[in-house]
């Protein structure tokens, strides 16, 4: 699999979603914009929904990178900087919110349910890893149950996704992000 071509397909699809939304973005649009054939795209994914799921998983990889970068930059064992990196990243990717809600609306399709389950499990595992990294660095108390806290974080992030789609006021969104940040730090 050629990673450059796959990344091109993903970024083109993201751009189309920004322009047209998830429902109106078709494989035909992706083929026309990328110049790739249907067979070439199917070499990488089996469906539009799988492609959308891959975008979400890519977003999680970027989020994971941001978290680890913030941990490495944190000189004192303060959890606020890594948590802030995670929380603030939600404001930067409206496309991922659109995809997440779109895929939820497609739960009648068993293949889409499998995609959502993969994204959910990935979210839980990464969140648990982040908490354990925080514990290893002394920024998160050792007695915090990483699995339970990860579940709480993922649940809050799902609500935040919906809130960002409904409330387009950037000032209110910033305040809600800050509230979530304070809630997370306070829970520790």
CATH number where 179 lies: 1.10.357
* Closest-CA residue to 14 (of 81, 74, 84, 99): 99
| pLDDT given at position 181 | 65
Average pLDDT over residues 103-108: 95
Are 68 and 141 found together in one domain? yes
| pLDDT given at position 69 | 83
* CA–CA distance, 102 with 2 (Å, rounded to integer): 27
Instruction: Kindly calculate the radius of gyration of the chain based on its CA atoms and give it in whole angstroms.
Output: 18
Are 67 and 156 found together in one domain? yes
User: Helix or strand or coil: residue 74?
Assistant: coil
* CA–CA distance, 82 with 88 (Å, rounded to integer): 10
* CA–CA distance, 80 with 97 (Å, rounded to integer): 24
Q: Is 51 part of a structural domain of the chain? A: no
Q: How confident is the model at residue 168 (pLDDT cuts 50, 70, 90)?
A: confident
| pLDDT given at position 44 | 94
Q: Is 32 part of a structural domain of the chain? A: yes
CB neighbour burial string for 149-186, b if at least 16 within 10 angstroms, e if fewer: bbeebbebbbebbebbeeeeeeeebeebbeebbeebee
Count of the separate structural domains present in the chain: 2
Q: Which domain holds residue 70?
A: 56-187
| pLDDT given at position 185 | 64
> What's the mean pLDDT when you consider all of the chain?
86
Are 9 and 30 found together in one domain? yes
Among residues of the chain, what percentage have pLDDT more than 70? 87
Lowest mean pLDDT among 20-24, 37-41, 62-66: 62-66
Q: Is 77 part of a structural domain of the chain? A: yes
Are 146 and 180 found together in one domain? yes
Contact (Cβ atoms closer than 8 angstroms) between residue 123 and residue 154: yes
Q: How confident is the model at residue 178 (pLDDT cuts 50, 70, 90)?
A: low
Are 98 and 167 found together in one domain? yes
Place of tokens 């293949």: 111
* Closest-CA residue to 6 (of 62, 52, 45, 59): 45
Average pLDDT over residues 105-118: 96
Contact (Cβ atoms closer than 8 angstroms) between residue 10 and residue 54: yes
């Amino acid at each position: 699999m050629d990673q450059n071509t796959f990344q091109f397909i993903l970024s083109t699809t993201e751009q189309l979603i920004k322009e047209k939304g998830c429902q109106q973005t078709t494989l035909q649009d992706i083929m026309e914009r990328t110049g790739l054939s249907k067979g070439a795209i199917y070499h990488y994914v089996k469906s539009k929904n799988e492609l959308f799921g891959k975008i979400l998983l890519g977003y999680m990889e970027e989020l994971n990178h941001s978290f680890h970068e913030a941990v490495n930059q944190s000189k004192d064992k303060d959890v606020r900087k890594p948590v802030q990196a995670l929380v603030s990243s939600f404001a930067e990717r409206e496309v991922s919110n659109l995809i997440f809600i779109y895929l939820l609306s497609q739960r009648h399709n068993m293949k889409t349910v499998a995609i959502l389950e993969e994204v959910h499990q990935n979210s839980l595992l990464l969140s648990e890893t982040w908490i354990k990294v925080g514990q290893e660095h002394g920024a998160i108390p050792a007695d915090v149950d990483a699995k339970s806290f990860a579940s709480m974080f993922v649940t809050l992030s799902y609500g935040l996704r919906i809130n960002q789609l409904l409330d387009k006021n950037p000032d209110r969104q910033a305040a809600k992000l800050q509230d979530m940040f304070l809630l997370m730090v306070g829970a520790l």
